[in-house]
Chains A and B, each alone.
Chain A
Amino acid sequence: MKRADVIVVGAGPAGIAAATAAARHGRSVLLLDDNPAAGGQIWRGGIEARGQETSKGESARKAAALKDLASSGATLLFGYRVFDAPGPQTLQALRDTAGGTEVVTLQYNNLILATGARERFLPFPGWTLPGVFGAGGLQALVKGGFSVQGKHIAVAGSGPLLLAVAVHLQEYGVHITSISEQASRWQLAPFAASLWSHPAKILQGIGYRAALAKTPYRTGCWPVSALADKKTGMLKSVQLTNGAKVWDEPCDLLACGFHLVPNTELASLLGCDLRGDFVAVDDQQRTSVPNIYCAGEPTGIGGLDAALVQGEIAGLACAGKPTDSLRARNAAERKFASRLEAAFRLRPELRLLSALDTIVCRCEDVTYDNLAARSGWTDAKLQTRCGMGPCQGRICGPATQALFGWTPKSIRPPLFPVPVSALCFHDSQHNVSQENA
């Protein structure tokens, strides 16, 4: 059993900023993450490319944030996966131990959810082939020691992440064959024009374009299929289209993701209201549930700057400190997030990419033709096992939302598969508090 004034779930930029702000103001803080280190996805550590690094400024920002966190007095707990909220102000997390796993009960006065976002994956023929990765997924694997030097990599999908990933991969000595962005130039234009109010983001964009000067960046282009070599079964090319024609682009690897979707599972389990796909919060990052705050991507895909300011606001608010001075910055970041959403809205053609035998649910290998006849998410689960594998619909949920307009409902514990022993676990102190309640 662990207790703290403030528990922060997720040690990405939002969680780091939140934990730092609350701990600096004298609150006891536990910062949990399921990964082995702090930084989340955008500040993921790992094996860096040798030689030049485009994002030097970014590394300095990360280092400063981690230093502030270290001196704040917050306690960091890595490898903790929150899987249940069994009682008021109580979470349960699973963590690996030398001999297996252990359940840890955590109690809080205030909870800050900084659970981040994941990539949206859309099915198309060949998307389950070895050699096809998420865009951020491939970047994470490369930082995790996957050697890609000399490989030809096609980048496709949607969102600003594609550019960042391409620049990053290039530093590891790969050849980026092209970047295909599904959004049209016309859809992106108002977004680009609106950036005047975010000069730092313009500079970053210019830096990316300079680094990718020789790489074709095609708007209004998207993947239609990934093709495998008949002998080896490995990816050999991606077929791309601009809506008028289809062409074949040879590549060793395909990095493909369609912007981001928020991780709202824990917020939903705790009963926090959603607004559309996102966790609803007020200007102090308070959710609809008392003492529960949410910051960063789960409240709207706004990127790093939004995460940092919202995390700080949530941390200060938990510590009972004023947040007025950050309100204008947060409002600007929220505007940026809504422009981002409009700019990278998915084109309807993406719903038509699957063939009848294309797998939509990768955990259970449920194909498109088995899903198309279903009336909704629950019907699909009952009849086909779609969404009932280990990822619990985290991948096929957003895919079927895009394909069929289904909204996955009914978030239930455990939030991810756990051993039966974890479900039978009862913390003695936890039992006492339940009896008192």
Chain B
Amino acid sequence: MPKSVTIRVNGQPVQMEAGSIVSAAFLKAGVPCRTSVTGEPRTALCGMGICFECRATVDGTPHCRTCQLLCRDGMVVESER
């Protein structure tokens, strides 16, 4: 079995394969990374750090591009308003 890591997405534990990116954890949890200025739910679009649709708060730091961040055990991530 591949090694796994567990991170918290909006308080909910999500188990991911080691080497996974944080955007993928949001997709697995079924919650958006951010809510747009008119209230639309958004998740990663470009997957390569260009579009900023996947930005979220990671371990207290806001506006992180979660498609360029690897999941680490114990990481706490929150959707952005």
Contact = CB atoms under 8 A, between A and B. Distances in A.
Given A118-B50, A362-B36, A141 B19 contact: no
B45 A134 contact: yes
A146 B54 CA distance: 13
Chain B interface mostly: loop
Interface in B3-48: 16-17, 19-21, 23-25, 27-28, 32, 36-38, 40-48
A128 B42 contact: yes
Contact of A363 (B21, B24, B47, B52): B52
A395 B48 contact: no
- Dominant SS among interface residues on chain A: loop
A356 B38 CA distance: 16
A389 to B, nearest CB: 7
Contact of B17 (A34, A47, A140, A417): A47
B56 interface: no
A243 B63 CA distance: 41
A46 interface: yes
Nearest to A233: B41
Contacts of A389: 52
Nearest to B60: A100
Nearest to A41: B48
Nearest to B68: A35
Contact of B43 (A41, A130, A359, A363): A130
B78 interface: no
Nearest to A45: B19
Contacts of A263: 50
Given A141-B27, A362-B36, A365-B37, A136 B48 contact: yes
A121 B46 CA distance: 9
A182 to B, nearest CB: 19
A70 to B, nearest CB: 20
Interface string A124-137: 00001010111011
A181 interface: no
A146 B45 contact: no
A390 interface: yes
A362 B35 CA distance: 11
B46 A395 contact: yes
A36 interface: yes
A424 B22 CA distance: 30
Interface string A394-437: 11000000000000000000000100000000000000000000
Given A130-B43, A364-B37, 20 more contacts: A34-B49, A34-B68, A35-B68, A47-B17, A100-B61, A118-B46, A128-B42, A132-B45, A133-B47, A134-B46, A137-B45, A141-B67, A144-B23, A144-B47, A145-B24, A145-B71, A147-B24, A362-B45, A363-B52, A395-B51
Interface of B: 2, 16-17, 19-21, 23-25, 27-28, 32, 36-38, 40-53, 55, 61, 63, 67-71
19 contacts: A34-B49, A96-B61, A119-B46, A128-B36, A137-B44, A137-B47, A139-B47, A140-B48, A141-B44, A144-B67, A145-B24, A146-B23, A146-B24, A146-B28, A359-B40, A362-B42, A362-B45, A365-B38, A389-B52
